[in-house]
A and B are shown apart, each in its own frame.
Chain A
Amino acid sequence: MKIDKDHQRFRQIVKGRIRDDLRKFLTRGELIGKEGKNIITIPVRGIDLPHFRYGDNNDGGVGIGEGQVGDGVDGDGEAGPGGSNPGNHLMEVEVSLDELADILGEELRLPRIKPKGNHQITSQKDRYSGIRSTGPESLRHFKRTFRAALRRQIIAGTYDPNNPVIVPIRQDRRYRSWKTVLKPQSNAVIVYMMDVSGSMGDEQKELVRLEAFWIDAWLRRNYEGIESRYIVHDVRAAEVNRQTFFHIREDGGTKISSAFKLARSILDTHYAPEEWNVYIFHFSDGDNSSESDSRECCRMLRDHMLPRINLFGYCQVASAYGSGNFINVIHEHLEEQQNVITSRVNTKDDIYDSLKTFFTPGK
């Protein structure tokens, strides 16, 4: 269709606008609830080209119907003939979550997931993109068959334009056939850990959810067969499902090492280091029950976890309560470690930069 090009160009411009406002979209919490549909509607301003037009202090319009002077006019007061009322020129554009994750991905860099594991290195996909001269009748390609017959008849001089009868014979028949496409696949697991103790208020949890949501959405978009595990903790840790992780409310004290222990045991049991790329993200307000527990966490990380994982990302959200000291302990003890990255998120606006910090090195 002729308009396809114009339509694609329009979509491209829309995406450009979204990229310009990426920060804003990343902070829209309501997206989390909508992922099931996988389509989100984004209001995009200012795609329409400007014109000289009247402002909104105009003198109203003319309508038809019942009603006394002073009664409200139902409907949106849409303009009468000629359309004197300016529309709000707001264009709603549908973008799938995947597309949004793609845009995010173009801004960040993908982690270099190494091919690991032997049972699942490649996945196979069959695509019906080929043509063969043999095959089952159910796969016969009528158009190509017809074309082959036409060509043969023209060459043979038996084609009469005044009586265009085409009779395909056995050799003319064409069939669709598949090609097997090998798709390299890497095994990767992401372990999300979140502090849900009392000092983590709703605001903090909201920040964590948003950040984790985008890490998750983006990695899932880019890697097939990625596995995610979710751990929440206060003084004890528990593995939960994705839904719970993004919606749980808890309170109580904090013992970060509990989560690390659980993560380690999950990795030990299910994810052999030679077969899996492992990413661990921990979110908290940096308040821990004791300094010694913080040091214990660092020891566990250095001795048992860091040697076998790709990345440990620690994201600390600002909180009115507590010391927020954990990030300092990590800096102190693990400064020399290449695969430890920390970021601070104080407001929603910091999420974009935090994601960039985590992924720009491309680990």
Chain B
Amino acid sequence: MSLHRIRPDLARHAQEIAEIAKRAGLDFFETRFELVDFDTMQQIAAYGGFPQRYPHWRFGMEYEKLRKQHVYGLGKIYEMVINNDPCYAYLVEDNSVTDQKLVMAHVYAHCDFFKHNYWFSKTNRKMMDEMANHATRVRRHIDRQGYEDVERFIDTCYPLDNLIDPHSAFMQREAKRDETPSQTMSKEREIEKDVVRFKAKPYLESWINPPHRAEKQRQELMSQKKKEKHVLPRQPLRDVLGFLIEHAPLEDWEADILSIIREEAYYYAPQGQTKIMNEGWATFWHSRLMTRHILTDDEIITYADHHSGTVAMGPGQINPYKIGVELFRDIEERWNKGRFGKEYDECKDMEAKRRWDRKLGMGMEKVFEVRSIHNDVTFIDEFLTPEFVDRFKMYHYRFDPSTRRMVVVNRDFNKIKAQLLFMLTNHAQPYIYVVDGNYSNRGELYLAHKHTGVDLDIKYAVETLKDVQRIWRRPTHLQALINDEMVLFSFDGEQSQQQKIHADMPAPAHGV
């Protein structure tokens, strides 16, 4: 695929819009547009935005879904942009020039977001090359191992790609392995601290705290500490994939493929964490730039039509573009008018609140700050207000078993916010931890689901556990709270079983 191919007229528009965007304060990586036909766009979309991925049928399945969506008129892809330096963005060649301009403005804002949002700060900015490398590596494994074996192994690994720790890039969870002497010293001091000493007058000391007992305690504590050292992992670990790569009995090519899948999962994680913000930010800027600077009179209708399509919301649905852009606009207005802080929050006079305007003009500054430091969870947590929920008529719905329909259950601000936050936390993936890599001292793997109010899907859990076992090769367990009961799912390579957890069973090294 040759890059940097774009019609001169579009290149001119891209140039102009980039300059307008920069003047407005956006700061992005160099952005390269490419003009593709519709089918290529679908192909790239099926590949998660990249022109190259390693061979696997699920990309083909994604492609089939996208094609069908288009045939049935359910969706059309207008834009696609890759977080990379330089950023790559695709334009569909049959779109009107107005649409192309809109997409360009939208894309520049995405690129600004990629460059400045904190959650993207640790992503690989050469992912375009990296994806191509992954493809080459997997192809090489296919040449050596055969297509079927490699495909089967990818089938086994891929179901685990949400078992990562999206925050691990930002913090050191596991202690460094080679401990320095000073730490060993402190360990001794720690043991000394834990040795039980009763209060005693000096002349009674050897009677009340006989040295042999202290020595015995010291020995016990020491051996306990030693045992702890052999506990794997040393604390519950969310990066299950990382753990498997390090400790599962994998062949080199298998470890390589698993690490490719893990690396790509980490690359995509920030996009899952900032869906609302990123789309909101891009929509905020495209509408601002288009209406204020770019549109010519005869383009207004086309623009309005497309824009309203982007931010349209069906009943019972939340469109991340819409909720995101409205929140950014709300923040801009609130910080322009000073509608924040103790005084505003405590004001009970609704009329005064409605007219509140301190003319602070801090809106722009604030939105840029917000785009830099927040992710969807903190964004909603901090900026969703009762007024906003009211204005946009938001509600909380739930499945009603008697009518078998989704029904509105309430319009309570706290419930709505709690629900939104729940849906966004860990981008709606369950929390799974490795809690013991040597369960019952038999080298079995023990995973645990941390319950956050919703049970795991049992059928899927059982199937996914099989894939974990295929990698670990020893019996593998998953502990999960199902219908208020602690259940242990197990798979030993041949048989699946599940049992209620009871006191007689050996406990894993850690709880969650």
Residues on A with beta carbons closer than 8 Å to the beta carbon of B409: 60, 69
Partner of B163, one of A5, A52, A91, A93: A52
- B51-68: CB near A (< 8 Å → 1, else 0) gives 110011111110111001
CA distance A7 to B47 in the complex (A): 12
CA distance A67 to B409 in the complex (A): 10
Q: Contact between A61 and B397 (Cβ–Cβ < 8 Å)?
A: yes
Any A CB within 8 A of the CB of B454? yes
Any A CB within 8 A of the CB of B457? yes
Any A CB within 8 A of the CB of B323? yes
Q: Contact between B429 and A3 (Cβ–Cβ < 8 Å)?
A: no
Given A49-B58, A62-B394, A65-B393, the answer on whether A54 and B455 have CB atoms closer than 8 Å is yes
Q: Contact between A69 and B410 (Cβ–Cβ < 8 Å)?
A: yes
Any B CB within 8 A of the CB of A6? yes
CA distance A12 to B163 in the complex (A): 29
- A72-107: CB near B (< 8 Å → 1, else 0) gives 111111111111101000011100000000000000
Q: Contact between A52 and B61 (Cβ–Cβ < 8 Å)?
A: no
Any A CB within 8 A of the CB of B458? yes
9 shortest interchain CB distances as A-B pairs: A60-B398, A10-B60, A6-B60, A77-B406, A7-B60, A80-B318, A73-B316, A50-B463, A84-B423
Chain B residues 22-78 with CB under 8 Å of chain A are 39-40, 43, 46-47, 51-52, 55-61, 63-65, 68
Residues on B with beta carbons closer than 8 Å to the beta carbon of A6: 55-60, 63
Chain B residues 381-429 with CB under 8 Å of chain A are 392-399, 403, 405-411, 416, 419-420, 422-424, 427-429
Chain A residues 187-216 with CB under 8 Å of chain B are none
Partner of B317, one of A9, A49, A66, A80: A80
Partner of A83, one of B314, B392, B428, B458: B428
Q: How far is the CB of A18 from chain B (nearest CB, A)?
A: 15
CA distance A57 to B457 in the complex (A): 9
Given A62-B318, A75-B315, A77-B316, the answer on whether A49 and B408 have CB atoms closer than 8 Å is no
CA distance A93 to B64 in the complex (A): 9
CA distance A93 to B455 in the complex (A): 30
Any B CB within 8 A of the CB of A70? yes
Given A6-B63, A52-B456, A77-B397, the answer on whether A69 and B57 have CB atoms closer than 8 Å is no
Any A CB within 8 A of the CB of B162? yes
Residues on A with beta carbons closer than 8 Å to the beta carbon of B461: 52
Residues on A with beta carbons closer than 8 Å to the beta carbon of B432: 52
**Given A3-B43, A6-B56, A48-B61, 17 more pairs with CB closer than 8 A:** A3-B47, A10-B57, A49-B155, A49-B158, A51-B161, A53-B430, A53-B456, A54-B457, A55-B456, A60-B409, A62-B397, A63-B394, A72-B408, A77-B406, A80-B420, A82-B272, A83-B428
Partner of A73, one of B40, B60, B407: B407
Q: How far is the CB of A67 from chain B (nearest CB, A)?
A: 5
Q: Contact between A55 and B455 (Cβ–Cβ < 8 Å)?
A: yes
Any B CB within 8 A of the CB of A137? no
Q: Contact between A63 and B397 (Cβ–Cβ < 8 Å)?
A: yes
Q: How far is the CB of A176 from chain B (nearest CB, A)?
A: 26
Q: Contact between B316 and A50 (Cβ–Cβ < 8 Å)?
A: no
CA distance A78 to B318 in the complex (A): 9
Q: Contact between A72 and B407 (Cβ–Cβ < 8 Å)?
A: yes
Any B CB within 8 A of the CB of A56? yes
Chain A residues 1-37 with CB under 8 Å of chain B are 1-3, 5-13
CA distance A54 to B162 in the complex (A): 13
Tier of interface size on chain B = 35 or more
Any A CB within 8 A of the CB of B159? yes
Any A CB within 8 A of the CB of B449? yes
Given A52-B464, A67-B408, the answer on whether A77 and B399 have CB atoms closer than 8 Å is yes
Residues on A with beta carbons closer than 8 Å to the beta carbon of B323: 81
Q: Contact between B58 and A64 (Cβ–Cβ < 8 Å)?
A: no
Residues on B with beta carbons closer than 8 Å to the beta carbon of A84: 422-423, 428
Given A6-B55, A6-B59, A49-B155, the answer on whether A59 and B454 have CB atoms closer than 8 Å is yes
Any B CB within 8 A of the CB of A118? no
Q: Contact between B460 and A67 (Cβ–Cβ < 8 Å)?
A: no
15 contacts between A and B (CB under 8 A): A1-B39, A11-B60, A52-B464, A55-B456, A55-B457, A61-B398, A64-B393, A65-B315, A65-B393, A73-B408, A77-B406, A80-B317, A81-B320, A82-B423, A92-B68
Q: Contact between A78 and B316 (Cβ–Cβ < 8 Å)?
A: yes
Q: How far is the CB of A16 from chain B (nearest CB, A)?
A: 11
CA distance A63 to B424 in the complex (A): 14
Partner of A62, one of B64, B68, B416, B455: B416
Q: Contact between B316 and A70 (Cβ–Cβ < 8 Å)?
A: no
Residues on A with beta carbons closer than 8 Å to the beta carbon of B64: 7, 10-11, 93
Partner of A52, one of B55, B407, B460: B460
Residues on A with beta carbons closer than 8 Å to the beta carbon of B63: 3, 6-7, 10
Chain B residue with the shortest CB-CB distance to A47: B61
CA distance A275 to B55 in the complex (A): 51
Given A63-B394, A83-B428, the answer on whether A51 and B399 have CB atoms closer than 8 Å is no
Any B CB within 8 A of the CB of A71? yes
Residues on A with beta carbons closer than 8 Å to the beta carbon of B407: 70-73
Any A CB within 8 A of the CB of B332? no
Any B CB within 8 A of the CB of A129? no
CA distance A48 to B323 in the complex (A): 30
Q: Contact between B159 and A50 (Cβ–Cβ < 8 Å)?
A: yes
Chain B residue with the shortest CB-CB distance to A5: B55
CA distance A53 to B463 in the complex (A): 11
Q: Which of B43, B323, B428 has the most CB of A within 10 A?
A: B428
Chain B residues 263-319 with CB under 8 Å of chain A are 272, 275-276, 313-318
Any A CB within 8 A of the CB of B112? no
Residues on A with beta carbons closer than 8 Å to the beta carbon of B395: 62-65, 67
CA distance A73 to B400 in the complex (A): 11
Residues on A with beta carbons closer than 8 Å to the beta carbon of B43: 1-3
Chain A residue with the shortest CB-CB distance to B453: A59
Residues on B with beta carbons closer than 8 Å to the beta carbon of A75: 314-317
- B158-177: CB near A (< 8 Å → 1, else 0) gives 11011100000000000000
Residues on A with beta carbons closer than 8 Å to the beta carbon of B68: 92
Chain B residue with the shortest CB-CB distance to A78: B317
Q: How far is the CB of B278 from chain A (nearest CB, A)?
A: 11
- B455-475: CB near A (< 8 Å → 1, else 0) gives 111101101100100000000
Q: Contact between A80 and B159 (Cβ–Cβ < 8 Å)?
A: no
Q: Contact between B454 and A69 (Cβ–Cβ < 8 Å)?
A: no
Any A CB within 8 A of the CB of B376? yes
Residues on A with beta carbons closer than 8 Å to the beta carbon of B420: 62, 80-81
Q: Contact between B316 and A53 (Cβ–Cβ < 8 Å)?
A: no
CA distance A148 to B48 in the complex (A): 40
